[in-house]
Structure 1
Amino acid sequence: MAEEWQFDVPTTGSKFLPPDARYMEALSSQGYGFEAAIADLVDNSIDAGAKDVVIHFLRDGDALVSLLVIDDGRGMTDEELDVAMTVGGRHHYSPTALGMFGTGLKSASLSHAAAVTVTSRTRKTRPAGRRWVMERAVTGFQCDIVEPRYAQTLIDRYQDCPIIWQGTVIRWDGVKNFPQHGGGGQTDRYLHRTINKLGLHLGLQLHRFLLRDDFNITIAVEDIRSRDVYMNFGVVPLNPFGYPVTGHRDYPRTFVAEVPSIGRVELTAHIWPPKSSLDEYKSVGSVLERQGFYFYRNGRIVQAGGWNNVRQPEPYLSLARVDVDLPADAGDVLRLSVKKEGVEATPEFASAVERAQDASGRAFTEYIADAQLTYREARKRSGTQRKPVIPPGTGFAPAVKESIEEELPILPGEQPIAAQWRKLAGDVFFDIDRDTRTIALNRRYRAAILGGRGGTLNDAPLLKSLMYFLVHDIFETEFSGPRVKDNLQLWQSVLVSAARAELNQLDDESGESG
């Protein structure tokens, strides 16, 4: 006879097992993206009541040396700094706080920097500081105490911008993705690219805060020798529901999902107008990835798109976005990731969404059908005016492929057109390979086109898009007539001259930096 299964495991006591110091390595290896890490620090500033946050890149000539996040929040005392710098140290968050796990400051910072220094001042206390250096942290959780005079100096450096009476400065040193060699304009390119992505990310995740009159985020770059500040601009809110005219007259509309474990969850469903070129729709990632649920926790986006197993993404739902405020107690039904970049939903939530209805009894499934129909009708209107094309394939950025497929009807059953860098003769810029249906680009000019940056499979999206529109219809026939051949010769001549000019300019810049 089988023994009855015992669910309660008997124990004889307990013992204290502190984490190994190497836990800090695990903490800093959670896959934080750069933008998500900075956003986590800004969350702390908001929780501290900050009105102004400055993200400050410091450079010394061509070398980037540090990154700082400064706010005019309430600041911290010595004791509060100890709690803030302790892993898991913040145990008592208010119900409206953006922080919740007590690991964000440490994990986000040490994922991207060899050391993080925090100095802070309250209205009633002098500046104090703590510093985690990764090398020391992993040998015994040794957190350094910042010399008080230096803490005062760092706070004073940002007096009136933005710190007035109190505030906090977080400093990253040894930032891992800073360019190691800044010559040839590499640092400037890095800053332009990184600041643009960071501004878009913060503008989306924190758009509800940025839409307020009393909250601002500024990104700036300063040369520490000349003290010149440039690239100084405010982050613009990107409201993912900020369309001027709805795509469907019956929306937005609020549905209610009755989730047994947590109660009512409101789903405010929106349909974007087709073919929108607004930044709020197209700037942050692929529109295919941005359809679906936008979960907010205390006013901050913690998931921007995705259907959480309610359904799969599809092009016909590219206009569908659903605004959801997470309940104060979501239990295990809607679990937030530590990085605040996703929500894990149980099947209980998916089932409740499928049954959701609005006040008049309209089902959420009807919203899905309306969003699909709005997209299809827009495609039909385009199809009557534009000639079907062979779609782009390998080598084209996903956003480019999506945009072309949105704007143009696609020839069914056709092998897509690829774009590829190849070794070609110096007197040609491109070649048409009908056999493999490929636009071959001359690898000799790749570095010039990319401005010295390293290449990837989907690099040079602007050039490849223009090349696609120049030559895509050539792949629809087996032979090229005299007019097409003359056009090809014309394009070759002009593009080779332009590429050589780019190459010469790159050489000149490299010579000047040397």
Structure 2
Amino acid sequence: MTDPASLTGSWQYDVPVTNSTRLPPDAGYAKALTNQGYGFEVAVADLIDNSVDAGADSVVVHFLRDANRIVSLLVLDNGRGMDDAGLDSAMTVGRRRNYGERALGMYGTGLKAASLSHARSLTVISRTKRSRAAGRKLTAEGIEDGFRCDTVDPDFAQRQIDTYDGLIEWHGTIVRWDRVRAFETVSSGQSEQFLSEAISRLEAHLGLYLHRFLSGSLKLDIAVWDVDTGDETDHIRVEPLDPFGYKVPGRAGYPKAFTAPVEGAGDVQLEAHIWPAKSKQAGFRHIGSLSERQGFYFYRNDRLVQAGGWNNLRSPEGHLSLARIAVNLPADGNRVFSLSVKKEGVQVTPAFTRGIETATDAAGTSFRTYLADAEAAYREGASRSAINRLPVIAPGKGFDPKVKRTIAEELPIRGGEEPISIEWVPLPEGRFFDLRRDEHTILLNRAFRDDFNDGRRGGSNDAPVIKALLYLLLQDFFGLGRWERSRADRIEYWNSILLASARAQRERRQRTTS
């Protein structure tokens, strides 16, 4: 074994080379590209990052389905778009483009890796103000065949753009996934449940990780189209899910700004928050388990890239579940902070934890004092008594996501019960609503739908006020064993009163428009 002392004075910090050889990637790289471990929601979020970088202020995630299955997924935006050269660059595997300081993209692999992790076919169609519609198609087989990229028929590209002319008027981009692995595993008759669950998870993920943009000018929608009928069967607006969106802090004097001297990154600013104990707000309860969501929330250019975790500072524990710290990654912190390609986690060097341990606020309060305050707020909250509200059955299909979220914040949800759905159907002239108790469904008379949507065509989550009122009125009527006469009588006179009210509203609307 070599004596380390013999290296003294002869150690070379750079390994010398004699020449270079270019080694293009083997076609087998396609398997690595399509196996990056992107979760579905993470992959879609990566596509939306590209839309934001392209200057889009409106993005739609569109699920396409037919009577039996889910067909495709599209992400559409009204950004700057790309011409032929831009499309070639975007679809080149391994090419990294130059990003601006405020860009959300980093590595140049997200479009291909995120898409081909879930779909065997990726198509990008785009148009700029100065170029016609053009498209490129990349498939798993094409990559294996020497990284072949196909040119989309220009007429088809234009027809796709024309289909979405309400969003893409002069410029924009469509990213389309076909042969999506998860969709192909959904059996006939199960697509409705799969879509409901997938959209719920996607809404929560996008609402959380893009919450700063959604609180600003970005409009983000998730929609479902039936390709056979052309009907839009579902449409929701994604709302910001702010992990720091409490109304009153859990401890007086918070949030507080701490400064951590971090070697290699300078002074890192920390915004330390304490949530109120037992909060039922969506930003606290609906973004994962409380143990996972305590700790650091790292942002890069206002985009959340890590939602909770202590990054080796300490282990999660119940007494710190109210503690959350917002950290904006410094532009010059690459020596300390390393962001994963999927943008869902940050690796730090020991310099970060050392800096946190010595962090103080302007008054000299230590970061350890903050942790002690968070623990105290938790213990005080646990000892307080609260009014017990009776549990309710969760609202399901047909209710606006904001309504469902608020109900879950305000009321305990009864477990083991199928959610209550609400839908517009033809009913006899003398009925405003009816019940299918065995299916947990409230039926609304379709004849009055336009009246509650100001004459406009409504979506599946329309008329939120009347639907919420009926839910509160009727949710106790489900899950009962014996149907009492008094309950049946209430259904009758409520119907009569609401029917008169609906007719009065129709007459008022007709007088206003005449």
**TM-score for the superposition, normalised by structure 2:** 0.73
- Could you tell me which of 27, 35, 38 is aligned with 2:44? 38
Q: For the Cα contact (< 8 Å) 1:27–1:107, is it kept in 2?
A: yes
**1:429-487, Cα deviation, whole Å (9 max, x unpaired):** xxxxxxxxxxxxxxxxxxx99xxxxxxxxxxxxxxxxxxxxxxxxxxxxxxxxxxxxxx
CA shift at 1:243, angstroms? 0.2
What SS does the aligned partner of 2:25 have?
coil
The answer to whether the aligner puts 1:204 opposite 2:208 as a matched pair is: yes
Q: Which residue of 2 aligns with 1:369?
A: 372
Q: Which residue of 2 aligns with 1:134?
A: 140
Q: Which residue of 1 aligns with 2:308?
A: 305
* Residue type of the alignment partner of 1:19: P
- Could you tell me which of 254, 259, 264 is aligned with 2:267? 264
CA shift at 1:332, angstroms? 2.5
- Map of 1:327-406 to 2, 5 A cutoff? 327-382=330-385
Q: Distance in 1 between matches of 2:22 and 2:170?
A: 43
CA shift at 1:115, angstroms? 0.4
The answer to whether the aligner puts 1:230 opposite 2:236 as a matched pair is: no
The answer to whether the aligner puts 1:72 opposite 2:75 as a matched pair is: no
**1:344-380, Cα deviation, whole Å (9 max, x unpaired):** 0110001001110001110011000100111012223
What SS does the aligned partner of 2:56 have?
coil
- Could you tell me which of 183, 190, 197 is aligned with 1:193? 197
- Could you tell me which of 294, 300, 308 is aligned with 2:297? 294
CA shift at 1:182, angstroms? 4.0
What SS does the aligned partner of 2:384 have?
helix
| Structure 2 unaligned regions, length at least 5 | 389-407, 417-437, 440-479, 483-514
CA shift at 1:385, angstroms? 10
Corresponding pairs, count: 390
CA shift at 1:87, angstroms? 2.2
Q: For the Cα contact (< 8 Å) 2:265–2:335, is it kept in 1?
A: no
CA shift at 1:337, angstroms? 0.3
What SS does the aligned partner of 1:114 have?
strand
CA distance change for structure 1 residues 28 and 183 in 2, over 3 Å: closer, same or farther?
closer
* Residue type of the alignment partner of 2:153: E
CA shift at 1:494, angstroms? 6.7
* Residue type of the alignment partner of 1:364: F
Q: Percent identity of the aligned residues?
A: 53
CA shift at 1:180, angstroms? 3.4
CA distance change for structure 1 residues 280 and 111 in 2, over 3 Å: closer, same or farther?
same
Range 254-263 or range 10-19, more displaced: 10-19
**1:40-90, Cα deviation, whole Å (9 max, x unpaired):** 000000000001101100011121110000000000010011111112323
What SS does the aligned partner of 1:84 have?
helix
The answer to whether the aligner puts 1:255 opposite 2:258 as a matched pair is: yes
What SS does the aligned partner of 2:290 have?
coil
**TM-score for the superposition, normalised by structure 1:** 0.73
**1:158-186, Cα deviation, whole Å (9 max, x unpaired):** 111x11110000000011111535433x1
* Residue type of the alignment partner of 2:107: F
| Structure 1 unaligned regions, length at least 5 | 387-402, 408-418, 420-447, 450-492, 496-514
What SS does the aligned partner of 1:21 have?
coil
Q: For the Cα contact (< 8 Å) 2:186–2:194, is it kept in 1?
A: no
Q: Which residue of 1 aligns with 2:18?
A: 12
- Could you tell me which of 243, 246, 250 is aligned with 2:246? 243
Q: For the Cα contact (< 8 Å) 1:291–1:306, is it kept in 2?
A: yes
The answer to whether the aligner puts 1:125 opposite 2:138 as a matched pair is: no
* Residue type of the alignment partner of 1:98: L
Q: Which residue of 2 aligns with 1:87?
A: 93
Q: Which residue of 2 aligns with 1:113?
A: 119
Q: Distance in 1 between matches of 2:351 and 2:263?
A: 8
Q: Distance in 2 between matches of 1:146 and 1:385?
A: 62
Q: Distance in 2 between matches of 1:280 and 1:369?
A: 23
- Could you tell me which of 153, 164, 171 is aligned with 1:158? 164
